[in-house]
Amino acid sequence: MEQTSKKTIVSLKDIFIKFDGEVILNHINLDINEKEFVTILGPSGCGKTTTLRIIGGFVEPDSGDVIFDGKRINGTPPNKRNVNTVFQKYSLFPHLNVFDNVAFGLKLKKMPKNEIKKRVTDMLATVDLKGYEKRSITKLSGGQQQRVAIARALVCDPEIILLDEPLGALDLKLRKSMQLELKEIQQKTQKTFIYVTHDQEEALTMSDRVVVMNNGVIEQIGSPEDIYNEPVNAFVADFIGEANILNGIMLDDCRIQILGKELECVDKGFGKNTPVDVVIRPEDIEVTAPEDGQLVGIVENTTFKGVHYEMSVRCGKCEILIHSTKSAEIGSKIGMRVIPFNIQIMNKLLPFYDNVIETTVTYSNQNDNSFEFELEGETVTVPDKYYEEGTKLKIALPPDALSLAGDGVGDLKDLYIESVVYKGEQNEIILESDERKWLMLSDTDEQVATYVPLSFDFSKARFEVISEFSEKEG
């Protein structure tokens, strides 16, 4: 078999860009190899398209370098880069037939007619559209139009093809077959494909390597297998395929506690008694008799999925998802076993659990027993608690003291939802305000990359006086 070349063809070095004062790409670094199919994957708004547009030359970064074949190409216009783009809305010319659409770029280059004919005919054969030369664009199906767009991008023989959600407009069935076709076209033509999608299955199916992005940063780069089997954190584990993501405590090397039980794992180097995130894929849980299980639970739901049964099992407060060829009755008690190798340990997304605010009391109201402090330009009132004006305080808000407020209310406005990870019991949500990140728990699903107002429940907070001012509590 031919060895995949590892020559780097394009590099992004420390790319940083803001739009309207907001950081869109936060110092990203990425090397893409020749002849590679690389997919940039991430939720809506995470910066995938911007990354692609920077490579294509449609957007200039505020800082950082774009290197093509060893040369810095910042400032080089798109048509001078050895790159071609396929957009989601193919941008084909409806008044031209298939041949003329594909030939368009070559005609602009004033290539001899016979050479154009040969190239276009060859390229149409590559994308499986032989015999469609005279067909009007408007008489083609979505999948065929997509292939014309790809042929048009490839015919000029660029080194790199950029594809921005090119299958987004197709229905699911067509999309699946086009995924395989695209991969085949890439292998036939031996070009570098850089593909943008928010669909994880698409990314895993087609790519040599997947770049997982979130909120303007690259979370992980790896082969589809690496990303699936060894996610670096709960965001990646959750985004790529189905996963049980649980809170755990790394007791020591190779010893993890989850759901109150101690299990053996293979990971080391997390220290002792360290809170971690643990991922167990549904297919890695073996169903046993209750007495043989490391964990025991009650089956709450079971659905036959063709190859396996999907079961939802209640284990204390937690819900565990299992894919098993064995089924179990709803309401029955089962045991669950996981081999150490299949327990994946990850650092928590945030280095803190409680949200700690250090602040100074700006106003005290003895009459109604409350005080105020300033937080990121907002005045926050703490009811049922009294500290003298000027007291320096540390306020620890556990994640369940935070909740999303209705429009127009809330202690803080416009927090950005960076990630939502279901932890078998509740969603763990990471929010970003102007100055910091917040950890919140929620029973409801929230949409990432949207803005929400936040309320604090100070009855769940812990207060600690930092500086020596007189303190009176009501």
> Which phi and psi (to 5°) does residue 355 adopt?
-90, 110
Whose CA is closest to 344, among 245, 419, 420?
245
Is residue 61 within the footprint of ligand ATP (CB under 6 A)? no
Shortest distance in whole angstroms from residue 277 CB to ligand ATP: 24
Among 42-50, 94-102, 238-246, 451-459, the segment contacting ligand ATP (CB under 6 A): 42-50
Is residue 352 within the footprint of ligand ATP (CB under 6 A)? no
Among 44-52, 77-85, 322-330, 382-390, the segment contacting ligand ATP (CB under 6 A): 44-52
Among 9, 12, 45, 227, binds ligand ATP (CB under 6 A): 45
CB nearer ligand ATP, residue 314 or residue 413: 413
Is residue 419 within the footprint of ligand ATP (CB under 6 A)? no
Is residue 20 within the footprint of ligand ATP (CB under 6 A)? yes
Strand order in the sheet with 209-214: 83-86, 160-164, 192-197, 37-41, 209-214, 217-222
Shortest distance in whole angstroms from residue 21 CB to ligand ATP: 10
Separation of alpha carbons 421 and 432, rounded Å: 15
Among 2-10, 37-45, 280-288, 384-392, the segment contacting ligand ATP (CB under 6 A): 37-45
Q: Is 201 left (phi over 0), alpha (psi -120 to 50) or beta?
A: alpha
Q: In the window 89-148, what residues touch ligand ATP (CB under 6 A)?
A: none
Is residue 385 within the footprint of ligand ATP (CB under 6 A)? no
CB atoms within 10 A of CB 34: 17
Among 9, 28, 42, 245, binds ligand ATP (CB under 6 A): 42
Q: In the stretch 146-185, what mask flags binding to ligand ATP with x, by CB under 6 A?
A: ----------------------------------------
Is residue 198 within the footprint of ligand ATP (CB under 6 A)? yes
Separation of alpha carbons 107 and 357, rounded Å: 64
Separation of alpha carbons 236 and 232, rounded Å: 7
CB nearer ligand ATP, residue 19 or residue 93: 19
CB nearer ligand ATP, residue 217 or residue 441: 217
Shortest distance in whole angstroms from residue 51 CB to ligand ATP: 7
Is residue 200 within the footprint of ligand ATP (CB under 6 A)? no
Is residue 44 within the footprint of ligand ATP (CB under 6 A)? yes
> What residues pair up with 279 in beta bridges, in sequence order?
245, 344
Shortest distance in whole angstroms from residue 54 CB to ligand ATP: 9
Shortest distance in whole angstroms from residue 162 CB to ligand ATP: 12
Residues found near ligand ATP in the complex (CB under 6 A): 19-20, 24, 42, 44-50, 198
